[in-house]
């Protein structure tokens, strides 16, 4: 999937554990793990809001668009 969730990066920057973050935003550590490992198919805006509040960041700090394999190469060849 071309959307990457960078929760682990923000956790490291904030020197916070997954357990601490899960407790602060009211989700299970298992669901947080699904987000961290990019296995989530969707995220609620309310969860994104809580993540941003707890980590003192913007949605763009947590979500990143990475083109699927070959997409960037195809675009360069067309130019």
Q: What is the pTM of this model?
A: 0.80
* Selection from 72, 65, 28 nearest residue 47 by Cα: 28
- What is the structure's pLDDT at 72? 52
- What is the structure's pLDDT at 69? 78
Q: Is residue 35's pLDDT more than 60?
A: yes
Q: Give the range among 34-38, 48-52, 65-69 with minimum mean pLDDT.
A: 65-69
Q: Is residue 74's pLDDT more than 90?
A: no
Whether the CB-CB separation of 62 and 44 falls below 8 Å is answered with no
């Amino acid at each position: 999937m071309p959307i990457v969730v960078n929760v682990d990066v923000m956790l490291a920057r904030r020197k916070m554990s997954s357990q601490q973050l899960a407790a602060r935003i009211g989700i299970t550590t298992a669901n947080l793990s699904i987000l961290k490992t990019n296995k989530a198919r969707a995220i609620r805006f309310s969860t994104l809001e809580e993540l941003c509040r707890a980590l003192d960041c913007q949605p763009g700090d947590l979500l990143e668009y990475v083109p699927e394999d070959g997409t960037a190469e195809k675009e360069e060849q067309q130019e």
